[in-house]
Structure formats: C-alpha cells, structure tokens
C-alpha cells in the first residue's frame, strides 16, 4: 500500500509541476465540447430552424404557385424569397443567384402549371364519370400535359437539404392536385345531382401525424443537438488522456527512471496501477467539467441545457469505464512508442480513427454497412451508445452494464498487451 | 557457491533478437563478498547487458545467476531487495525535488515513515545536499544530480551495489565525495560491482577487475596482477589497450 500511495503521490506531483500542461489537460476537452456542440448545433439549425435559403420563380401565377409559396413560407425548414433586387425573380436571375451561392436552391414553377393540372384532372374525371353505356375503349386516350418544375441547386448543398426541399414540394403539389380533383369531382357531381354536394376541400384533411419519442422510463428528455453532441465529444475528449499518459510512460523510458523502476522490488501491476489511477482521476475531473459545460455554459448561449437523465449510477459507471479504457489504451501506446513523435501521433491519430469508426463524427446508421459493422469494435462507440441510452432513452445502470463491461475488458486487454510486450523485450 | 561468494555467474549468454552475434557469450564468474569488482571493456563489449542481467532487468538466454544463494527464477523479489542499482543515466524525475525523488524511490525500496525520512536526511547531509533538498532536480548541476542518483540506489543499504559509470561527467569535488562514500560503504560490508571507461579510477578503486570484449571475459585479476602479467604495461590502461587493441570501437547497430 505504501508503494501504491508513493506512486500516486509522485504522479500527482508530476502533473502539478506542469501547470500549463495541466491547464491544457482540462481546458482543451472543455473547449472541444463547447465548440463542437455549437458547430453541430448550427448545422442542425440550418436544416431545422434557420432554414434553407430558397429562391422561387412563380411563372404559374395560379393555385400551384400560390400553394407552393404559401407552404414554403410557412415551414421552418426554409427561408423563401420570390423577389431579387426589388423585382420578381426570373429564371435567369434565380439561376445566377444560386450559382453565386446566395441561395442553396432555386425553384421554377412554369407558366400554366396549374392550368395543365386542371386540364389533366378534368379529362380524367370526365373519363371516369362517362356514361357507362359508352364503350370506353372507343374514346381516344387522354393526352396528358406534363408539368415540369425545375430546381437549380448550389453544388455545396447537402443531399439531405435537397431531399427535404423535394419532399416538401411533392407534398404541396400533391395537396393542390387533391384539391383540384376534389373540386372537379364536386362540379361534375353538381351537374348530375344538383344541390347534393356540400363538402369543401378542407374536409379531406383527415390524416394527422403525432410524434412521440420512445423512452425506457417515464422521464421525458427532448432529443436535441446538445443531448447528442455533448456526450459524443466528451468521450472523444476523455480518450485524449492517451496522449499525456503515453507521453509520461515514454518520458520514464527515455529519462532512465524506467530502468531504475525495473530494478526495484515491486511488480508491474503496482507501478502501472498507481499511474493509471491518477490518470483515471484526471479523466473523471475532465468528465465532470465537460458535463458542467453542457449543463451550465452552453445554455448561456441560448442552446438547451444538457439533461443528465435519471440514472446517476449509470453515468458514473460509464464515465469511469471510459476513463479506465482510455488509460489502458494510453499505457499500451506509451509502452510501444520509442519517441515523442511516435507517441503523440499514434496516440492522437488512433483516437481520431476510433472516434470516426465509433460514430462520434457521423452516426453509424449513415455509414456503409461494412463501416457499421466496424463501428462496434470501437471503444468510443461502446461509451457513446451507453451515454445515448442514459441521456436519450432514459436507461438505467442495468441497461448499460454490457458497454461498461466491454470497456473494462478493453482496459485489461491493452494493459496485458503492454505487459507482454515488456516481457518480450526483457527476454 | 563458496562461503565468501556473493555472486556466481555460470555460462551466462544473451542473444538479442535479430542480432547476428551474442551480446554475452558463455560468461562465468565468481564475485566475492566485500569486493569492489570492476567490469571493464570497450563500447559494445557487453558490460551493460551483463549488469542488466545481474540486476534482473533482462533475462539471460542461457546460463544461471546466483545472488547471495538466490536465483532470479525463484527469488526475484528477494534479490531485488538486497541489490542497489545506480544507472549511468540520471534516473530521476527532473520536476521533483531531491527529497521527493528520494522519498518516492525509498518507498519502492520498502522504506517508509520516520526511518525513511531519517535515512534521506542522513544521506543528503553526507553528500552535502541538505540545503538543496527541496529544490527541483532539474535545477541541479551535473555533480549534484549524480549524487542524488547515487543516494537513490543506496537508501535501503543494499548488500550489493551495481554502479554504471557513477562519476562520468562530474567535477573533481563531486567525484571525490562519491569515491570516499563508496569506499566507506564497501568497508561496512557492501559489495560493489562497477563499470567504467575511467581506467585510472578503476585501477585505484577496484579490488579486482574483469576486462570483457565481444561478450567474453578476456582477463581477470587484481589491477596489479594484470599490470604485472602483461609485459610492458605500466597501468591498467596499457593492459586494456594491449588486450582490446587501439582500433576505435563503435557500437554495431546492424
């Protein structure tokens, strides 16, 4: 126990004697969480709150154009403009504005679009309601007028934005078509049975949507970018403990203290557990600070505060397991490395790779299937999934024990690998 | 193992992976209690490898090492408790003070509490470092660092002390202090095993020396015996040059 405490004291002193290093150790992960959450929030806003900038050319001047303008103006997903430089947008001016990056998407509703829809619908209705005694095959097929809505797209626009706009357009066109069909049918029925048709097109809006988030307990946490990003970047920041820990191990090798330590009584487990304990403590302090950023600092900028869910034991278990796994990885990198460059580059690059695979940058469900399978081997993915369970699905300690167990196993595997490597070198 | 033997080395061999030649070949040696035994040789002769195996840092490929009747295979921890190691590199934490360094290594050597404090104070005073005990080692001169490095190896009063170039790169005053201390330590029963390139120092300091080259012992005896047995030699340095040649020796990294 004396030895273990002496190692703890030595590691703490070494950290305290490097105040700038210590400040970086705590400030950098906090800054990372803060900046990344803000960046991701603004990306999220572009689609959901700030809106996609769209310019619309209404050459139709009828129901379809009016319906699309009304619909796009009333959705938060876009910011609609129909006037450029004080004049109604034309095809040429809209295309130019999109090409210059002033708008992400330009939409052109062609002249006579509504008229064409009406004409097509009327032909179809008339055909449907034709006298049953007439041989339908004798009637020549109706010639449909095609309505083509053009879209100009800025090449930098994300596919998801284009899909969202196309989807909204389809919805508005579908609505206007339904109204025209309904009106035409009503007019034709009025001709056959006068005074019997009292319905209005508004009556056909009978299907509604209700969104509800599924959670494992009754506590309701609103999913938002803060709930997604703070845990993700916290795990990323915690894993960066690999760099100073590996550096500390390497320093002992290059400065000769490792040689003396190996000649002293005491085993590898005592020496490494003392070092790991201190870095796990540092990691836990980092975690608390990063959570504080989510709960207290981020709301100061108008973003929602991080909600920690209902299972504090679950959070502590996953944070501790993540800290232990990250420290084990640091021990392995520090043991293998022979120079500062090797240690710093391999440590930081491997974390970036693990985080990319693990879904920190991009959610695994948007990755190709091979990458989705690979993501399950990343310890950052285990930690992230566990935090999502706790922060978004209202899970408890028992729901995340498997992820915690995997992280602890990862620690033992990395430390065992480092130990075997040392033994191999010794022999 | 005889009654006066403290270290017995039997057919010791060390092959490093990928190296064409063995670093230590069939080395057998007996070191007696209370000796100041010098292991001398040119660069790459196998001195550090031999010392590292004697300290239990590297395992030999073949052969056996018996330390005070114990073997590393069966009694690694017991052996480590009775040996002290003073490496050539300053094996200290530069950002810790001398006292903090010594306290840390003292704890790992099994000392603690009042006994450790008193031992540290005694050694610091002995080496003239008591006034600078609470200053970071990074601010020390080379000689001061060497003295702290030495104290860290003798805090637990080891039976056997391994010294790798203990006086390299320091001033005459520091060297004298260290030499006098080591002689006193030896007089109180500590066996000293010493490696150095400083042959003049080895000639006056060591009771017996082994000159090794290419991983093998070339000659063994007291400095005086070796000088007498090599015609025309007036010093240990002459003997050394006669045996190992005058060609430059660089480490073979191939």
| Judgement on whether residues A241 and A364 belong to the same structural domain of the protein | yes
| Judgement on whether residues A390 and A316 belong to the same structural domain of the protein | yes
Which tens digit of pLDDT belongs to each residue from B166-179?
A: 777 777 887 888 88
Distance from CA of B6 to the nearest CA of A (A): 18
Q: Which among B93, B103, B107 has the least Cβ separation from residue A257?
A: B93
| Residue-number span of the structural domain to which A289 is assigned | 2-44+224-426
For A377, the token pair is 């081997």
Q: Quick check: is A180 in a domain?
A: yes
Number of structural domains in chain A: 2
pLDDT range class, residue A404, cuts 50, 70, 90: very high
Which tens digit of pLDDT belongs to each residue from A306-359?
A: 888 778 899 999 999 999 999 999 999 999 988 888 888 988 899 999 988 888
Give the model's pLDDT for residue A379.
92
Residue B53 CB: number of other CB atoms within 10 A?
24
User: For the stretch B80-90, what's the b/e string if a residue is b when 16 or more beta carbons lie within 10 angstroms of its beta carbon?
Assistant: bebbbbbbbeb
- A266 interaction partners in chain B (CB closer than 8 Å): 77, 108
Distance from CA of B134 to the nearest CA of A (A): 13
Q: Quick check: is A234 in a domain?
A: yes
| Judgement on whether residues A301 and A159 belong to the same structural domain of the protein | no
Q: What average pLDDT does the segment A261-290 reach?
A: 89
Q: What percent of chain A has pLDDT over 90?
A: 25
Residue of A nearest to B49 (CA): A426
- Chain B interface mutation, best of A2, A264, A421, A422, highest count of B Cβ atoms under 10 Å: A264
Sequence ranges of the domains in chain B: 5-244
- A262 interaction partners in chain B (CB closer than 8 Å): 56-57
Is any Cβ of chain A less than 8 angstroms from the Cβ of B245? no
Indicate whether A132 pLDDT > 80.
no
- Rounded distance between C-alpha atoms, residue A132 and residue A129, angstroms: 8
For A353, the token pair is 């790779």
**Which of A48-57, A117-126, A140-149, A182-191 shows the lowest mean pLDDT across its residues?**
A140-149
Residue B204 CB: number of other CB atoms within 10 A?
9
For B53, the token pair is 């195996």
Task: Pick the last residue of a domain from A153, A173, A204.
Answer: A204
Indicate whether A164 pLDDT > 60.
yes
Task: Pick the last residue of a domain from A171, A204, A237.
Answer: A204
| Judgement on whether residues A130 and A73 belong to the same structural domain of the protein | yes
Distance from CA of B161 to the nearest CA of A (A): 12
Contact call for residues B152 and A10 (beta carbons, < 8 A): no
pTM of the model: 0.75
- A2 interaction partners in chain B (CB closer than 8 Å): 107, 112
Burial class (CB in 10 A: 0-12, 13-18, 19+), A117: buried
Indicate whether B49 pLDDT > 50.
yes
Contact call for residues A85 and A59 (beta carbons, < 8 A): no
| Judgement on whether residues A29 and A55 belong to the same structural domain of the protein | no
**Which of A128-142, A372-386, B194-208 shows the lowest mean pLDDT across its residues?**
A128-142
Considering only CB atoms, which residues of chain A are within 8 Å of chain B?
2-3, 5-7, 9-10, 13-14, 17-18, 255-257, 259-266, 426-427
Q: What average pLDDT does the segment A46-68 reach?
A: 80
Give the model's pLDDT for residue A254.
86
Q: Quick check: is A216 in a domain?
A: no
| Judgement on whether residues A198 and A245 belong to the same structural domain of the protein | no
Indicate whether B254 pLDDT > 50.
no
Q: Which among A10, A14, A260 has the least Cβ separation from residue B85?
A: A260
Contact call for residues B95 and B136 (beta carbons, < 8 A): yes
Indicate whether A270 pLDDT > 90.
no
With a CB-CB cutoff of 8 Å, which residues 57-96 of chain B face chain A?
57-59, 77, 80-81, 83, 85, 87-96
Q: What average pLDDT does the segment A242-271 reach?
A: 86
- B90 interaction partners in chain A (CB closer than 8 Å): 255-256
Q: How far is CA A337 from CA A237, A245, A251, A344, in A?
A: 21, 12, 10, 9
| Judgement on whether residues A278 and A389 belong to the same structural domain of the protein | yes
Indicate whether B112 pLDDT > 60.
yes
pLDDT range class, residue A200, cuts 50, 70, 90: low
Q: Quick check: is A217 in a domain?
A: no
| Interface touch A17/B103, C-beta < 8 Å | no
- Rounded distance between C-alpha atoms, residue A154 and residue A55, angstroms: 12
Q: Which among B59, B96, B109 has the least Cβ separation from residue A265?
A: B109
pLDDT range class, residue A42, cuts 50, 70, 90: low
Q: Which among A10, A256, A426 has the least Cβ separation from residue B87?
A: A256
Q: Quick check: is A210 in a domain?
A: no
Which tens digit of pLDDT belongs to each residue from B189-204?
A: 899 998 888 888 888 8
HEC profile for chain A?
A: CHHHHHHHHHHHHHHHCCHHHHHHHHHHHHHHHHHHHHHHHHHHHHHHCCCEEEEEEECCCCHHHHHHHHHHHCCCCEEEECEECCEECCHHHHHHHHHCCCCCEEEEECCCHHHHHHHHHHHHHHHHCCCCCCCHHHCCCCCCCCCCCEEEECCCCCHHHHHHHHHHHHHHHHHHHHHHHHHHHHHHHHHHCCCCCCCCHHHHCCCCCCCCCCCCCCCCCCCCHHHHHHHHHHHHHHHCCHHHHHHHHHHHHHHCHHHHHHHCCCCHHHHHHHHHHHHHHHHHHHHHHHHHHHHHHHHHHCCCCCCCCCCHHHHHHHHHHHHHHHHHHHHHHHHHCCCHHHHHHHHHHHHHHHHHHHCCCCCHHHCCHHHHHHHCCCHHHHHHHHHHHHHHCCCCHHHHHHHHHHHHHHHHHHHHHHHHHHHHHHC
Which tens digit of pLDDT belongs to each residue from B226-252?
A: 888 877 778 888 888 887 776 655 555
- Listed in sequence order, the residues at least 6 apart from B211 whose beta carbon sits closer than 8 Å to its beta carbon are B40, B41, B217, B218, B219, B220, B226, B239, B240, B243, B244
Contact call for residues A282 and A15 (beta carbons, < 8 A): yes
Give me chain B's average pLDDT, please. Answer: 86
| Judgement on whether residues A371 and A345 belong to the same structural domain of the protein | yes
| Judgement on whether residues A329 and A185 belong to the same structural domain of the protein | no
ipTM (interface predicted TM)? 0.84
CATH class of B5-244: alpha beta
| Interface touch B103/A6, C-beta < 8 Å | yes
Token pair 């104070």 is found at B121
Sheet bearing B24-32, strands edge to edge = B24-32, B5-14, B62-67, B70-71
């Amino acid at each position: 126990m004396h030895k273990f405490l002496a190692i703890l004291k030595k590691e703490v002193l070494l950290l305290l004697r490097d105040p700038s290093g210590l400040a970086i150790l705590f400030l950098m992960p906090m800054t990372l969480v803060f900046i990344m959450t803000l960046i991701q929030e603004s990306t999220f806003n572009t689609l959901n709150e700030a809106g996609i900038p769209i310019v619309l050319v209404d050459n139709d001047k009828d129901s379809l154009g009016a319906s699309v303008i009304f619909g796009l103006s009333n959705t938060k997903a876009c910011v609609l403009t129909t006037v450029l430089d004080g004049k109604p947008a034309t095809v040429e001016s809209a295309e130019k504005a999109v090409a210059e990056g002033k708008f992400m998407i330009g939409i052109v509703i062609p002249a006579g679009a509504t008229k064409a829809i009406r004409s097509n619908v009327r032909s179809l209705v008339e055909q449907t309601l034709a006298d049953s005694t007439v041989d339908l095959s004798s009637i020549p097929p109706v010639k449909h007028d095609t309505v083509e809505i053009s879209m100009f797209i800025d090449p930098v626009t994300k596919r998801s934005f284009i899909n969202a706009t196309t989807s909204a357009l389809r919805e508005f066109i579908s609505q206007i078509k339904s109204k025209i069909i309904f009106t035409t049918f009503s007019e034709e029925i009025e001709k056959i049975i006068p005074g019997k048709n009292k319905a209005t097109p508004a009556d056909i809006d009978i299907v509604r949507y209700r969104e509800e988030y599924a959670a494992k307990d009754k506590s309701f946490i609103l999913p938002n970018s803060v709930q997604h990003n703070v845990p993700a970047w916290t795990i990323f920041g915690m894993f960066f403990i690999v760099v100073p820990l590996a550096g500390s191990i390497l320093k002992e090798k290059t400065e000769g203290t490792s040689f003396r330590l190996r000649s002293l009584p005491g085993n590898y487990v005592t020496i490494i557990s003392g070092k790991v304990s201190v870095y796990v403590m540092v990691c836990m302090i980092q975690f608390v600070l990063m959570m504080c950023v989510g709960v207290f600092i981020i709301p100061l900028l108008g973003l929602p505060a991080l909600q920690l869910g209902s299972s504090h034991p679950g959070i502590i278990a996953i944070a501790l397991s993540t800290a232990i796994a990250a420290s084990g990885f640091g021990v392995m990198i520090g043991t293998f490395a022979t120079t500062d460059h090797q240690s710093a580059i391999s440590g930081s690059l491997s974390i970036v790779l693990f985080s990319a695979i693990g879904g920190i940058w991009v959610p695994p469900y948007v990755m190709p299937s091979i990458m989705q399978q690979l993501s399950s081997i990343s310890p950052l993915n285990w930690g992230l999934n566990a935090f999502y369970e706790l922060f978004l699905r209202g899970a408890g300690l028992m729901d995340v024990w498997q992820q915690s167990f995997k992280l602890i196993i990862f620690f033992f595997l990395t430390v065992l690998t480092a130990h075997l490597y040392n033994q191999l070198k010794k022999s | 193992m005889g009654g006066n033997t403290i270290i017995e080395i039997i057919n010791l061999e060390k092959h490093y992976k990928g190296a064409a030649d063995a670093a230590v070949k069939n080395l057998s040696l007996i070191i007696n209690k209370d000796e100041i035994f010098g292991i001398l040789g040119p660069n790459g002769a196998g001195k550090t490898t031999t010392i590292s195996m004697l300290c239990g840092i590297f395992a030999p490929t073949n052969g056996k090492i018996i330390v005070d009747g114990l073997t590393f295979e069966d009694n690694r921890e017991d052996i480590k408790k009775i040996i002290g190691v003073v490496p050539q590199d300053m094996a200290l934490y530069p950002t810790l003070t001398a006292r903090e360094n010594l306290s840390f290594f003292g704890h790992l050597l099994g000392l603690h509490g009042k006994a450790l404090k008193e031992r540290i104070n005694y050694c610091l005073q002995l080496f003239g470092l008591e006034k600078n005990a609470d200053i970071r080692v990074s601010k020390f001169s080379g000689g001061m660092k060497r003295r702290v490095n030495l104290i860290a190896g003798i805090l637990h009063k080891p039976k056997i002390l391994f010294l790798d170039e203990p006086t390299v790169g320091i001033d005459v005053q520091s060297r004298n202090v260290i030499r006098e201390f080591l002689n006193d330590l030896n007089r109180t029963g500590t066996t000293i095993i010493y490696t150095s390139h400083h042959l003049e120092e080895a000639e006056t300091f060591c009771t017996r020396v082994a000159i090794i080259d290419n991983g093998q012992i070339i000659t063994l005896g007291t400095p005086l015996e070796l000088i007498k047995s090599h015609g025309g030699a007036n010093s240990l340095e002459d003997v050394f040059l006669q045996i190992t040649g005058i060609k430059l020796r660089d480490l073979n990294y191939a």
